[in-house]
Amino acid sequence: MLVKCGDAKLIWYISPLRLDILKFGGETFREWCNSVIETYKDVAWWNIFWSIAWGVWLKCNRWCFEGKRWKSNEVIRRAVSMVGEFETVQEISNTNPSSPTLDSSWKPPMEGVIKVNSDAAVFAPSGVGLGGVMRDSVGDVVASTCLKLERKFEVDVVEALAMRHALNIVIDFRFRNVCLETDCLKLHNHLVKSITPSTAFGAIVKDFLQLSTVCHLVSFSFVRRSGNRVAHNLAKLCLSFNELRVFMEDFPSDVIEFVVADLSPDV
């Protein structure tokens, strides 16, 4: 299935590997792979190989169990994108061996700074929710926001969109000393290192970094989902709203328990 069906042959041939599967033999997939190894020994080549093999597997399963088709170029795009993300994370790991502190609870910012937490929620069959909450050094909410978008996005893209939306609200309210916090480790690492790859995600990160220059003081922090519950539930609450909602010195009653819980993390 992975190499001999018509769609699989085409995918391998038009992929960046330009692999003509008929040049290699073997009675089983293992034997076939062993014959390929004799020609291709580069680790980077095999990263793409296994990503494409997984894509072919998912394509077949999607057709068999859901009756839906992925185009061949979509399988290839997803595979190459996955390898690119993996290599980016590896690069970040190598250049920044000290990972951020993995806080599990929300902590207030220093005096004079507004902490901005953002998060996103993905709705089926389409649509995403962006949530953001801004709090001062004693934990009081100075603003909160919800925004629903009727489109499909990759998860990392929607996380970046949520933070950019929250920053726009912060700037509108003229807060200029901010700490931007997320539970998306990839987004945090890209912001800290100012890494802006040539992807949709990278374009939003680049735009965000440019936008943040309006502020006098900007810092970034990472928190686990358990410390980002207010923003997360604001994002989910977008299902109840059809338009942008901004609350000045307030927040929807649906998230009050999470606001209170952040002020009493030991309870």
Band of pLDDT at residue 32, cut at 50, 70 and 90: confident
Mean per-residue pLDDT for 177-185?
94
Tokens of 143: 């603003």
Please give the DSSP secondary-structure letter assigned to residue 172: H
Q: 60-84: per-residue pLDDT in tens?
A: 888 788 888 778 888 888 787 777 7
Q: 87-143: per-residue pLDDT in tens?
A: 666 665 555 545 445 678 999 999 899 999 999 999 988 799 999 999 999 999 999
Among 34-38, 51-55, 192-196, 230-234, name the most confident range.
Answer: 230-234
Higher pLDDT, 152 or 254: 254
Q: What is the pLDDT of residue 92?
A: 57
- The C-alpha atoms of residue 62 and residue 157 are separated, in whole angstroms, by 24
| Chain centroid offset of residue 222 CA | 14
Q: What is the pLDDT of residue 60?
A: 84
Band of pLDDT at residue 50, cut at 50, 70 and 90: confident
* Cβ proximity of 111 and 138 under 8 Å: no
Q: What is the pLDDT of residue 97?
A: 47
Average pLDDT over all residues of the chain: 87
Which strands form 128-135's sheet, in the order they lie side by side? 217-222, 177-182, 114-122, 128-135, 141-149, 245-248
- The C-alpha atoms of residue 55 and residue 232 are separated, in whole angstroms, by 31
Residue 264 has pLDDT above 50, yes or no: yes
Q: What is the pLDDT of residue 93?
A: 56
CATH of 114-263, one of 3.40.980.10, 3.40.50.300, 3.30.450.20, 3.30.420.10: 3.30.420.10
**CB-based burial, 4-26: b 16+ in 10 Å, e otherwise:** eeebbeebbeebebebebeebee
DSSP 61-96: HHHHHH-----HHHHHHHHHHHHHHHHHHHHHHHH-
Higher pLDDT, 204 or 95: 204
| Domain limits, CATH 3.30.420.10, in the chain | 114-263
Band of pLDDT at residue 59, cut at 50, 70 and 90: confident
